[in-house]
Amino acid sequence: METYLKKKVEIIIEAPLMRRIIEHLEARQVSGYSVFPVLAGRGHEGSWRADGLVGDTGRMVAVMCIVDATELDLLLEEIFPLVQQQIGIVTVSDVQVIRRDHF
């Protein structure tokens, strides 16, 4: 089966920032994205868990989308100012998809 190379962008950020990230994805007409809860992790500040948190403060989410390589740089330029001063990370990886027209 033929596959097509695309870019997967994963953004792990504090939950209150999620809406602004999604607004940028939709403005760029990203064809789809998913948001997942992040329940625990470890970073520069040490280990953390979402257990017992009340409200969105301190809660983390992962926003994932797949885009064509030609769209990647502009998308990253738009979201970088949002995540630059926040807790979280942005990763980009190569993926292969079987339905090129969905991305």
pLDDT tens digits for 37-75? Answer: 998 877 777 776 666 655 555 689 999 999 999 999 999
- Output the pLDDT for position 86: 82
- Output the pLDDT for position 49: 65
- Output the pLDDT for position 101: 84
- Output the pLDDT for position 84: 87
pTM listed for this prediction: 0.85
Average pLDDT over the chain reads: 88
SS3 content of the chain, % helix, strand, coil (to 5): 30, 40, 30
Write the single-letter amino acid at 51.
D
Percent of the chain with pLDDT over 90: 66
- Output the pLDDT for position 73: 96
CATH number of the structural domain 4-102: 3.30.70.120
- Output the pLDDT for position 40: 80
Q: What angle do CA 86, 17, 53 make, to 5 degrees?
A: 85
CA distance 67 to 69: 6
